[in-house]
Amino acid sequence: MRSTTTGTAGSYRFTLLAGAAAFALAAPGVAFAQDEAPEAEAPESENVIIVTASKREQTLQETPISVSVTSGETIERAQIRDVLDLQTVVPSLRVSQLQTSSATTFIIRGFGNGDNNFGIEPSVGVFIDGVFRSRSAAALSDLNLIQRIEVLNGPQSTLFGKNASAGVISVVTKEPQYEFGGQFEASYGNFNALNLRGEVTGPITENIAFSLDGTYQQRDGFGRIVNLDNAEIQDRNRWSARGNLLIEPSADLKIRLIADYSKIDEVCCQTSNVVVGALTRGAIPAVGGQFPSDFFSFDNFLNVVPVNENENYGFSGQLDWSFGNLTLTSITAYRELTNAFLQDIDFTSADIANEGRDQGVDTFTQELRLTSDFDGPINFLLGGYYFDESIAQDSFLTVGEDFRDFAAFQAGSPLLPATASGAQRIAVGNQVLAGAEAGLGLPIGSILGGDFLTQERFRLDNTSWSIFGTVDFEPLDGLVFTAGFNYTDDKKDFVIELDALDPLANINLVDAFITGATAGAVRTRAQFQALPAANQQALLAAATNPAVNQLLGLAPLQFQTPFPDVPNAVEPGQTRDDQLTYLLRAAYQISNEVNIYASYSTGFKASSVNLSRDSRPLSSDYTPGVRGSTFAAPASPIINAGLATPNLTTGTRFAGPEEAEVFEIGLKAQWDGFGINLALFDQSIQGFQSFLFTGLGFGLANAGEQSVKGFELDTNIQPTDGLVFTFAATYLDSLYDDFTSGPLGDLSGRRPAGIPEWSLRTSATHTYEFGDSGTRLISRLDYSHESNVNILDGIGGFNANQFRREVNLVNGSVTLQLENGLEVGAFARNLLDEQFTLTIFPGVAQAGTVSGYPNTPRTWGGLVRFKF
């Protein structure tokens, strides 16, 4: 598709589009785009890039959106393997891999969500060749056959719908070519890293072309599981394959068919302890276990080798049909994702608890849009989008062989002097547990004596449709006004079922004391509520006094308590959202070299469902009694419907929609050898969906409002032929304007964690030509920096300022390109072997312990590439 306008500006745009069919980038770093509408007499620049950020094929210069573009050439030279590496060249983007090989977080301008909870809607939409990848586990393929990657900053809901309230990552791959060619690459590096990739393209007939590409990555693990014969962890073992057909029956009709498959089978992830609490130091050795204490030693102690398996495959077809001054585009896609993992969640060699999870996602999408290409002052885009997705997840927590003794250590410790040995504590604790079992009428050895702590079943069906459009009005050459809209309707139906299988978790210790104190006369809430008020108060006073009710000492051992399944008589297990978002923008070409724009846009993200063990009824549906007592719980919809379960607390089943808005002004200037681009923005999200990993699940809540003010700066300098410098910076002044109901209490007025104030990216690329031989030596060095920032908003028992992160990464590469297509090179990532913490979380069932994930150490290697 092309987008042209009237007058000399429109004529020159057409010239640029025609001349930029072969993608060229003078500054092989990141290009940062705002608006430009060059005049006809402007000299054609090598820095001409075609982008589709506005769902129109436009040059980078004329796209009035804050978008960072990374070329395939940069990806190749910088050895960017996947989207995890992409953040080293895009300052507004942050990507982290956590817990499993497929759990990845995308954040743009400080807004985003983690992806280890499949019920959480993404705030940053990932699109590959126009197809939405609804879960980041489906977007982790090796980057191969890439033409460019566009990172659109800020809300993009007008054109990209409900999952772009923070931004968009759009990956565009190369189309098949009618000239036979391709390339093969092999690299080898430290940790026995072997990377193979290849692509071939060519004609089948005069109007049908094909391409095939594939990748294979294998690498030893960075870490060792010391107690399991030094088994490797944090390895790489993944491959992908893709086939493309380009069919052009006529000059007006183009059809592109893509089928792809990728597989991951890895041992992930490297984890260690930032803080080792007293319970971990005492109880784990007492049951014969070990734990890591040196965070960057890459030593692990686990009772099982983790399993991470991921299969991702799909098919898409895009049709572009031009008739007259209109182009009709249809993109149809079907994808399947299967994801499974098994891992030790206490991260010690003691056999306490493991988690297993099997997930499946089936997604169908259909987009249809009509784009005009009139000679008059008005052009439009009108489209519709349909999304249908089904998610299934079955999961479990095991009870390990050491779990009961681990709990007995905790039960026995308060009864013994500090000098008591671990064996003594366990022996006394087991007596306490046996006594409790006898008193509660449970079989001896049943507390933490089964096979499973929990078993869960989650289902989520999501259908959504939207209509969207934009209108461009150019009353004068170089002056363009744009208005756009998007109306989205979103429906979710979900099932949440949890079996809490440990008998102690199914007993409220206050209610059990009351039943015993009344010699069994009070066994239900109705019987308790029928007692005189004075009797109720007296029983509760005794039952909640630890000196009287010694059962309360067992409360820390109730690790996972039950809750009502959903849907039920009170909670329908559904969300229904609809929203109109819009865009207003003005763009003006001051001169051939300088463009400015100003815009206001809104964004929308639909409700997210908490598919985790921390799913709980809303406080409006249930009010718990003291210490979780059902007997003492006041009347509520859950109580009135007879749905209350022992130890039930409140939380969320889902978080409501997000509504975003952003004011933005931008400037772009480009002269021979120098370019500078600037975007200033004031962005906020009402009802930001915040979630916190709790160790066994996720706390999900809507923040009242989160905002960020800042700027994005990009410059490129080419002082001489063959030498290019780039510098990009993002400044973010972020704030919780109103967040009173989160899992950590009132955070209003605080800076959100994990959002650095400054993010810097800079690079230098030098190309040395060996005379007229066609041989070139290309050297590249890049540096990325993120300023010091709190890692989490808070963690129980600690000051959030204790845990901070600063990032300083240096990467480099050298490539010798010969005229015959042969290339040899060397590369290094994290050249200075910088060490920092990616994120942290509370130790599972280990109060006072904080665990976390370290960054990837230095990697290096050499490569051979042949292009033909």
Is 763:723 a contact under the CB 8 Å cutoff? no
Query: pLDDT by residue (tens digit) across 483-529?
Result: 999 999 999 999 999 999 999 999 999 999 999 999 999 999 999 99
SS3 344: strand
- C-alpha 216/C-alpha 186 separation (Å) is 10
Encoded amino acid at 20, one letter = A
Mean pLDDT, rounded, for 728-738: 95
Is 633:644 a contact under the CB 8 Å cutoff? yes
- Residue 511's contacts (CB-CB under 8 Å, 6 or more residues apart) are 528, 543, 629, 630, 631, 646
Residue 600 or residue 744, greater confidence: 600
Residue 435's pLDDT is 94
- Quick one: which H or E segment has residue 76? helix 72-77
Longest Cα separation, the chain: 101
Is 16:38 a contact under the CB 8 Å cutoff? yes
Query: Which of 308, 303, 310 shows the shortest CA–CA distance to 398?
Result: 303
What's the order of all strands across the beta sheet hosting 124-128?
Answer: 30-33, 67-71, 146-153, 167-173, 124-128, 131-133
User: pTM for the whole thing?
Assistant: 0.89
- What pairing do the DSSP bridges indicate for beta strands 299-300 and 272-275? unpaired
Residue 635: count other Cβ atoms within 10 Å of its Cβ.
Answer: 10
Compute CA distances 643 → 203, 422, 507, 630, whole Å.
Answer: 65, 41, 15, 11
- C-alpha 647/C-alpha 564 separation (Å) is 11
Least confident segment among 92-106, 543-557, 808-822:
92-106
Q: Annotate 812-838 with three-state secondary structure.
A: EEEEEECCCCEEEEEEEECCCCCCCEE
Query: pLDDT by residue (tens digit) across 587-640?
Result: 999 988 899 999 999 999 999 999 999 899 999 999 999 999 999 999 999 999
Residue with tokens 């499993």: 100
- Residue 419's contacts (CB-CB under 8 Å, 6 or more residues apart) are none
Query: pLDDT by residue (tens digit) across 419-478?
Result: 999 999 999 999 999 999 999 999 999 999 999 999 999 999 999 999 999 999 999 999
- C-alpha 454/C-alpha 496 separation (Å) is 13
> For the chain, what's the residue count?
868
Query: pLDDT by residue (tens digit) across 34-48?
Result: 333 333 333 334 445
Least confident segment among 157-161, 204-208, 252-256, 732-736:
157-161
Give the mean pLDDT of the chain.
Answer: 89
- C-alpha 585/C-alpha 35 separation (Å) is 10
Helix 509-517 crosses helix 533-543 at what angle (to 10 degrees)?
120
Encoded amino acid at 174, one letter = K
Q: Based on the number of CB atoms within 10 Å of its own CB, is 720 exposed (0-12), middle (13-18) or buried (19 or more)? A: exposed
- C-alpha 715/C-alpha 32 separation (Å) is 8
- Residue 244's contacts (CB-CB under 8 Å, 6 or more residues apart) are 173, 175, 176, 201, 210, 211, 212, 256, 257, 258
Helices (H) and strands (E) in the chain, counts: 11, 43
